[in-house]
Amino acid sequence: MPTIEDIILANDGRGISALRPHLEPNYCEKAASCLLDNPGTVLIATGFYIMAAGAPETDGP
């Protein structure tokens, strides 16, 4: 069964999967556990606007 990391990186068109060897195994599960263990307000930002380009950019999967 594939991990969530496998699924996220399955359609990697930008080469981001090259970073995977440098990340801990199950990094998505660890991030989720961190959020659950620290209740409160969470802000998830997945993109930003580039004024010079006149367009948004997202670095999320």
Residue 60 has a pLDDT of 57
Q: Which residues of the chain have pLDDT under 50?
A: none
pTM over 0.85: no
Task: Read off the tokens for 32.
Answer: 């989720």
Residue 48 has a pLDDT of 85
Residue 13 has a pLDDT of 82
Task: Read off the tokens for 56.
Answer: 């948004």
For 16, the 3-state DSSP assignment is helix
Q: Indicate the domain borders of the chain.
A: 4-58
Residue 4 neighbours by CB under 8 Å, 6+ apart: 28, 29
